[in-house]
Amino acid sequence: MKRAHNVSMTNITAAIAARVAEITYESLDRATIDAVKRLVVDGIAVAIAGTAEDAPRILAEQVRALESRPDATVWGFGFRTAPQSAAFCNAASMHVLDFEPMSSPPTHAVSPTLPAAFALAEALCAPGREIVAACAKGFEMQGRVLLASGHDRGDLPFHTPGVVGVMGSVVAASHLLHLDATQLAHAFGIAASRCGGLSANTGSMVKCTHCGNASSAGVEAALLAERGFVAHPRIFDAERGYVATFFPKHFDAEALLAFGRPYRCVDPGMALKFYPSKYPTHFAIAAALDARRHLTPASSIRAVRILTPDIEDADRPQPRSGLEGKFSFQYTAAAALLDGRVGIDTFTDRRRFASDMVAMLDRIRVIRNPQAPRDTRNMRLEIEVDSYDSTTARGICTAPPGSWGLPVDTAVHRVKITDCLRVRFDETRIAHLLALTDALEVLSADEVGELARLLA
């Protein structure tokens, strides 16, 4: 990898701003448009399901109390507010279940980007194709930054969406606002000072606000730049700037400037989640379901060993709540073994503190291997389940359902989407909503408004 200060480019910020600003909807190919639409409908569905959780409800109440100008819809809560506030609420709803797609290198690229694009498109009366283009560019920005940095799990002292998500949202917002390259360079500088998100809050309500803050901050940064607010114009190049602060070890500017060649939402694509939990736990769930096929009833389980890479933040033997269970190898494996499935209702406090779950967690031990790859793109997890009849069932996962590079059955994906939408909507509304999202790139501004009203 090339160090930032050794790159031959004299102004990385200007170069990436120019590249991003020149991209229009018309420059996107069919594969990119289709990939973006698939991610958009997934993100919307997950956000609607998320609105039933306590954290988004509290956040929506807080935003409603501000009584801002009603330009953009807060999904699922029936009111409108300023675009940056709508982006904040909708991104938090989209992330609260940990159910949205994962880009490569891994981050939650959809949650910071889609709400920003949608809120501004609604406020500015933009057609659906501009949402598609804004999302394509916002997703790509996050993927390219992480690719350029050689990002690996644990490299950042912050939650990754809090560092790269704001760059995705500011790109999406800047597209809707038609910022030129100079304005975008300043928007990058403003956005860079909004980065953050402490991983210690994983497992609490705060985590969903990391994506909410990133989405809102990107909208605000773009709006400020449009008004003439200025920042350091070379924030990617500057000493103590974005790259030097967050990616000091190495940064390959050429990888960043290969923006859109191809779009990373197409190659290598994004992983679609079929379990609403932290992505490494999907390996535990899939392995546990594999082992369960060889078991007698769960009451016969004497002990469980989970052989994992050294992923400390997923080693949570006694999660304090159902919400924290989303980030626990032990809890997700226990749920898969006991119930034969893992869904939204798995992560309630009622399920967490049920007697069978409490007993099962006491039987599970995680064994972490420091030499095993921690990157979920090439990770392996094994589960061994000992029964009282002296038999041992084993399950292995190297790629959970929906992983990068694996084909996804569109019918199976549609089941996930409709299940999420049913948390709030009836079948008639779901059918109407899906008809609009399926035609997103040809929707008029009025039809985008109609979609927003359905989501309200």
Reported confidence tier of residue 408, pLDDT bands at 50, 70, 90: confident
d(C-alpha 384, C-alpha 382), whole Å: 7
For residue 62, give the amino acid letter.
Q
With 80 as the cut, is the pLDDT of residue 154 above it? no
pLDDT in tens, 412-432: 999 999 999 999 999 999 999
d(C-alpha 166, C-alpha 33), whole Å: 22
Mean pLDDT of 404-415: 90
pLDDT at 153: 66
With 50 as the cut, is the pLDDT of residue 345 above it? yes
On the CB side of 28, CA atoms within 13 Å amount to: 26
Task: Show the beta-strand stretches assigned E in 221-296.
Answer: none
What are the extents of the domains in the chain? 4-272+435-455, 279-397
Map tokens 């500015």 to a residue.
124
pLDDT at 403: 94
Would you say 142 and 168 are in contact if contact means Cβ atoms under 8 Å apart? yes
pLDDT at 7: 46
DSSP letters of 308-359? EES-GGG--SS-SSTTGGGG-HHHHHHHHHHHS---GGGGSHHHHTSHHHHH
Q: What is the DSSP letter of 102?
A: B
Q: How many helices (H) and strands (E) does the chain have?
A: 19, 6
Q: Locate 229 and state its tokens.
A: 């607010």
pLDDT at 6: 42
Q: What proportion of the chain, given as a percentage, has pLDDT over 70?
A: 97
Q: Rounded to whole angstroms, what are the CA distances from 246 to 1, 236, 240?
A: 16, 10, 9
CB under 8 Å to 239, separation ≥6 — which residues?
none
Reported confidence tier of residue 230, pLDDT bands at 50, 70, 90: very high
In the CATH hierarchy, which fold is given to the domain comprising 279-397? 60s Ribosomal Protein L30; Chain: A; (3.30.1330)
Q: In which element (H, E) is residue 107 found?
A: none
Q: Rounded to whole angstroms, what are the CA distances from 354 to 96, 275, 335, 345?
A: 23, 20, 11, 13
pLDDT in tens, 81-134: 999 999 999 999 999 999 999 999 999 999 999 999 999 999 999 999 999 999
Would you say 245 and 164 are in contact if contact means Cβ atoms under 8 Å apart? no
pLDDT at 70: 96
φ/ψ of residue 308, rounded to 5: -125, 165
Would you say 185 and 17 are in contact if contact means Cβ atoms under 8 Å apart? yes
Would you say 235 and 131 are in contact if contact means Cβ atoms under 8 Å apart? no
Letter string b/e over residues 311-346, b meaning 16 or more CB atoms within 10 A of that residue's CB: beebbbeebeebbbbbbbbbbbbbbbbbbeebebeb
User: The whole model's pTM is what?
Assistant: 0.93
Q: What proportion of the chain, given as a percentage, has pLDDT over 90?
A: 91
Q: Locate 155 and state its tokens.
A: 């490299």
pLDDT at 405: 83
pLDDT at 284: 98
Beta-strand relationship, 364-369 and 381-387: unpaired
pLDDT in tens, 44-54: 999 999 999 99
d(C-alpha 187, C-alpha 281), whole Å: 36
Domain range 4-272+435-455, CATH class: mainly alpha
Q: How far is CA 449 from the centre of its chain?
A: 25
For residue 137, give the amino acid letter.
K
